[in-house]
């Protein structure tokens, strides 16, 4: 069995209740985005020299997502492609919100982060099982991939 299959299966064991699954479909992407937004809010500092290459995307979030995407590639290159697309949407949204929001992006993302985690823990209370990341921190990255793999299955893509 491939490592990605084992991780997705293990993650899925504590996500059987339909209500918990639905909560995860909302909260996991929100948490992923909020983390991107929080990291996006960190001043670029030594990354400013990249601005001529990456424009407004020369920031810590882009660098962090590159590292995360290497992790996804090590598990499943096709799944990593979906995560790349989702990551790009998160970066673009963070950039847009930083321009449009009347409050700092970090404050908005912190609020989303807290509310989404409350939702996650509520879902796990309904499920009656602890979140998978209590077992292994890498499950924090498997959650988004778990949702992505369902999209792949729905559209008939191999992951």
**pTM beyond 0.95:** no
Domain region containing 100:
30-155
Residue 151: inside a domain = yes
Number of domains comprising the chain: 1
Residue 54: inside a domain = yes
pLDDT (tens digit, 0 to 9) for every residue of the chain, 159 residues total?
Answer: 899 999 999 999 999 999 999 999 999 999 999 999 999 999 877 666 666 555 656 788 998 999 999 999 999 999 999 999 999 999 999 999 999 999 999 999 999 999 999 999 999 999 999 988 888 888 999 999 999 999 999 999 999
Contacts of 7 (CB under 8 A, 6+ apart): 75, 138, 139, 142, 145
Residue 1: inside a domain = no
Separation of alpha carbons 81 and 99, rounded Å: 27
């Amino acid at each position: 069995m491939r490592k990605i299959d084992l991780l997705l299966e293990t993650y899925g064991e504590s996500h059987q209740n339909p209500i918990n699954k639905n909560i995860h479909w909302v909260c996991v992407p929100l948490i992923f985005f909020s983390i991107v937004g929080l990291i996006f809010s960190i001043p670029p500092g030594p990354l400013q020299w990249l601005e001529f290459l990456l424009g407004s995307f020369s920031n810590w979030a882009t660098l962090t997502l590159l590292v995360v995407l290497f992790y996804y590639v090590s598990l499943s290159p096709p799944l990593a492609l979906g995560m790349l697309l989702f990551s790009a949407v998160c970066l673009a949204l963070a950039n847009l919100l930083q321009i449009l929001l009347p409050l700092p992006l970090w404050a908005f993302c912190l609020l989303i982060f807290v509310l989404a985690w409350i939702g996650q823990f509520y879902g796990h209370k309904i499920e009656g099982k602890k979140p998978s990341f209590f077992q292994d921190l890498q499950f924090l990255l498997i959650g988004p991939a778990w949702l992505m793999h369902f999209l792949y299955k729905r559209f008939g893509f191999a992951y």
